[in-house]
Amino acid sequence: MKYKSIIGLEIHTQLKTKTKAFCNCKVEFGQKPNTNICPVCMGHPGSLPVVNEKMIEYALLLGRATNSKINDKTKFDRKNYFYPDIPKNYQITQYDYPICYDGNIKILLEDNNMKDIGITRIHMEEDTGKVFHDKDDNNSLIDYNRAGVPLLEIVTEPDLRTPSEAYKFLNELKSILRYLDISDANMEKGELRVDVNVSVMKKEDEEFGTKVELKNMNSFKAVKKALEYEIDRQIELIKKGKKEKIKQETRMWLEDKEKTKIMRTKEEAADYRYFPEPDIPAFHINNDIIEKIENIDFELPLQKRQRFSKEYNLSDYDSSILTSEIDLAHYFEKVLEKFDDGKAAANWIINELLNLMNEDGKEIKEIDVTPQKLASILKLIDQDKISGKIGKKLLKEVYNSGKKPEDIVDEKGWSQVSDSDELENIIKEVLEENNDAVERYKNGEDKLFGFFMGQIMKKTKGKANPKKTNQLLRKLLKNQ
Ligand SMILES: [Zn+2]
């Protein structure tokens, strides 16, 4: 391809603190509108903001996880603009001294190479309220419960080159936020929002093309689709010699039409009249808090992935699936406390359990197959008490009923016949009933072996232990 695209992301993610960024209002969603508010987050005269220390800790924790530098001295600023969702007419944010800067996140590319994506900055700010234009025929409605909820804004360097790299980066960041337990980062629920900057340039060009900002995507998949569309649009314009038609502007992704539409020409930072927040003096991050963050023990998705591959001899693919969600990674390790074949456990989780969960859209936390129960099923198979085929049926039963695997096996009579005497009797019966076939087998029709196996399975309703049956059948045929 003659063109390359340059992509940078700006991500806002809601922090899981108990209270808001600068007041004591609770952070909880699904409440009655305008109940979690107070004079501070409503900007009443005479009220003063107080910084929530948890917000600072969470920002530093993400800073540590992304190898960022910490601004020893930091401050808050006011970003001024008028819109009804911001009751103070300004947002408290950080302008020139973000708490963290110059970090990176590694993503795994298709060719199995790692790529470093630079993090320009991470800064703290407060969220806005929510405006509803479609809930009332004559009025727009506002809910301020979200106003003042702490956010982290994460800005990447323009290091991403393709929509699929952007998609991978977002998934990695989401995993990290969830591993650190500082944000649920669910884009579909609005807990994480992504703005994209994208430009296109000819490969031989030295200069970047004009940057366009994309907004209004509500899933990582939508981000990928919007980028694909926008890159094509810009390349087409360049090909037609209409490069000047690519303007520095903000475009909106229209999900139903699968295209972008101009929203507004891009505003400049100066338009926001940033100035230092007079109610919160600039401050130093003290050593106690830095030490506290450094002493928190955590394993990031990438480290866990590498450890799983090495420790349990898993493929990179399997490890990356098992570590994509921290709850799933915990589940896997819990299974291994009771059953020590990591490879088998990984196979069963990825190929069987996740399929069942996908079918009814459940998450690992919501299912009745506890790690102990899955370990029991794997043990039953491992000890030849049930066949692998029955194991799949059993898993489905446990999944649907939540009952103990052993109880279901008893109830349904699914135990495998492994007892040699019992098997021998059954095989003898089958051979007696099929005298002709035995004669033909002895005269060289080897393929009849499969026929005998089939008859034995039929007689035992599939419960004969295949390995043992095979051995015994061979022995008994020889003695015929
Ligand atoms: Zn408040």
CA of 50 to the centre of ligand 1 (A): 10
193 shares a domain with 113: yes
**Are residues 243 and 271 located together in one domain of the fold?**
yes
Residues near 202 by Cβ (< 8 Å), separated by ≥ 6?
2, 3, 4, 238
Amino acid letter, 18: K
**Residue 42: which domain range?**
3-290
Same-domain status, 190 and 338: no
Whether 11 maps to a domain, the answer reads yes
Last residue of a domain, one of 412, 445, 469: 412
Confidence of residue 1 (pLDDT cuts 50, 70, 90): low
Same domain, 306 and 357: yes
Residue 363 in any domain: the answer is yes
Cα of 150 from ligand 1 centre, angstroms: 11
Q: 32 pLDDT exceeds 90?
A: yes
Looking at the structure, tell me whether residues 111 and 252 fall in a common domain. yes
Among the ranges given (19-33, 135-149, 265-279, 339-353), the one the predictor scored with the smallest mean pLDDT: 265-279
At 432, which CATH number? 1.10.10.410
Distance from the alpha carbon of residue 282 to the mean position of ligand 1, in angstroms: 22
The verdict on 64 and 27 lying in the same domain is yes
Render 322-370 in DSSP notation, one character per residue: HTSSHHHHHHHHHHHHH---HHHHHHIIIIIIHHHHHHTT--GGG-S--
How far does residue 275's CA lie from ligand 1's centre (Å)? 22
Q: Same structural domain for residues 208 and 153? A: yes
**pLDDT tens for each residue of 291-325:** 999 999 999 999 999 999 999 999 988 999 999 99
pLDDT confidence of 419, banded at 50, 70, 90? confident
126 found inside a domain:
yes
Residue 270 pLDDT class (50, 70, 90 cuts): confident
Residue the block writes with tokens 């106690």 = 288
- How many domains is the chain built from? 3
Domain assignment of residue 66, yes or no: yes
- What are the C-alpha distances in Å from 365 to residues 224, 327, 371, 374? 28, 7, 11, 14
Residues with CB under 5 A from ligand 1 (ion): 23, 25, 38, 40-41
Reported as a single tens digit per residue, the pLDDT across 55-103 is 999 999 999 999 999 998 999 999 999 999 999 999 999 999 999 999 9
| Local confidence band at 129 (pLDDT 50, 70, 90 cut-offs) | very high
Which residue(s) pair with 14 in the sheet?
Answer: 151
Contact 87, 114 (CB under 8 A): no
Q: Please state the rounded mean pLDDT for residues 404-410.
A: 94
243, 264, 290 — which closes off a domain? 290
Q: Tell whether 311 and 447 lie within a shared domain.
A: no
From the CA of 144, how far away is ligand 1's center (Å)?
Answer: 9
Question: N- to C-terminal Cα distance for the chain?
Answer: 71
Please tell me whether residues 280 and 324 are part of one structural domain: no
Q: Determine the Cα–Cα distance for residues 386 and 463; give it in Å rounded to an integer.
A: 7
Give me the amino acid identity at 16.
K
Ligand 1 center to 39 CA (angstroms): 6
Q: Cα–Cα distance between 42 and 396 in angstroms, integer?
A: 52
User: What's the 51 CA to ligand 1 centre distance in angstroms?
Assistant: 12
Residue 318 belongs to a domain? yes
Whether residue 272 is contained in a domain is answered as yes
Residue that terminates a domain, selected from 378, 412, 446: 412
Q: What distance in angstroms lies between residue 274's CA and the mean position of ligand 1's atoms?
A: 23
146 CA to centre of ligand 1 in angstroms: 10
Give the model's pLDDT for residue 266: 64
193 and 271 fall within a common domain: yes
272 and 397 fall within a common domain: no
Please give the distance, rounded to the nearest whole angstrom, from the Cα atom of residue 16 to the centre of ligand 1. 16
Looking at the fold, whether 405 and 430 belong to one and the same domain comes out as no
The average confidence (pLDDT) of the chain is: 93
d(CA 456, CA 451) in angstroms, rounded, equals 9
Residue 395: inside a domain: yes
Q: How far is the CA of 149 from the centre of ligand 1 (A)?
A: 9
Residue 296 belongs to some domain of the structure = no
pLDDT digits (tens, 9 = 90+) for 152-188: 999 999 999 999 999 999 999 999 999 999 999 999 8
- Ligand 1 center from residue 444 Cα (angstroms): 88
Closest C-alpha to 203, from 2, 67, 411: 2
